[in-house]
């Protein structure tokens, strides 16, 4: 789920904003990367349910799991909306123009919610490790905390790149 929703999802956000390609190509890359992220997120949730069921652990008992279900649902809704309005069959130019700010805002909201959910997942993992006897400052605990900080920093840079000024599109390129 981390690779899908955070890393590939973040790359999808960055790719649309920063690649100096034609708009249609950027849209396709953005769409495909988000589709991969969504599929990996769904596989991750299925794996979590399978693991919990096989281990006798209750499902959906924590804030992390509740937010995770919310994130994957919102991510799917956002992807379907983007596909229908911006890709196929595509809305009218007026609908697309009016939808873009909301699509961007909702997409960043879902991405930030995914970052928060992943942070809760790291905290939950750390709690399980400590309750099973792992030292508070042991190698495993440091690894979990390090991964959490790297994830948050990566997400921060994705959000900053999404709200920053985009480079000129390939259509706007003129030789010197």
| Domain regions of the chain by residue span | 1-163
pLDDT tens track for 46-63:
999 999 999 999 999 999
- pLDDT at 11 exceeding the cut of 80: yes
Give pTM, 2 decimals: 0.92
pLDDT for position 172:
59
Q: What mean pLDDT comes out for the span 80-91?
A: 94
Rounded Cα–Cα distance for residues 76 and 80 (Å): 6
What average pLDDT does the segment 130-157 reach? Answer: 94
Tell me how far apart the terminal alpha carbons of the chain are, to the nearest angstrom: 45
Q: What are phi and psi of 52, to 5 degrees?
A: -65, -45
Nearest to 42 by CA among 87, 72, 12: 72
- CATH for 1-163 is 1.20.120.1770
Contact partners, residue 104, CB within 8 Å, separation at least 6: 162
């Amino acid at each position: 789920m981390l690779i899908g929703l955070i890393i590939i999802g973040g790359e999808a956000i960055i790719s649309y904003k920063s690649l100096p390609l034609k708009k249609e190509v950027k849209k396709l890359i953005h769409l495909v990367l988000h589709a991969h992220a969504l599929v990996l997120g769904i596989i991750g949730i299925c794996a979590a349910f399978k693991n919990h069921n096989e281990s006798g652990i209750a499902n959906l008992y924590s804030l992390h799991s509740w937010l995770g279900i919310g994130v994957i649902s919102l991510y799917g809704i956002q992807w379907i909306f983007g596909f229908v309005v911006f890709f196929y069959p595509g809305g009218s130019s007026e609908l697309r123009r009016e939808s873009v700010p909301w699509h961007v805002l909702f997409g960043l909201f879902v991405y930030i919610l995914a970052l928060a959910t992943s942070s809760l997942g790291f905290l939950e993992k750390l709690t399980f490790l400590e309750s099973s006897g792992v030292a508070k400052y042991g190698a495993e605990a440091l690894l979990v905390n390090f991964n959490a900080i790297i994830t948050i920093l990566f997400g921060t840079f994705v959000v900053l790149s999404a709200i920053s000024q985009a480079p000129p599109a390939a259509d706007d390129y003129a030789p010197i």
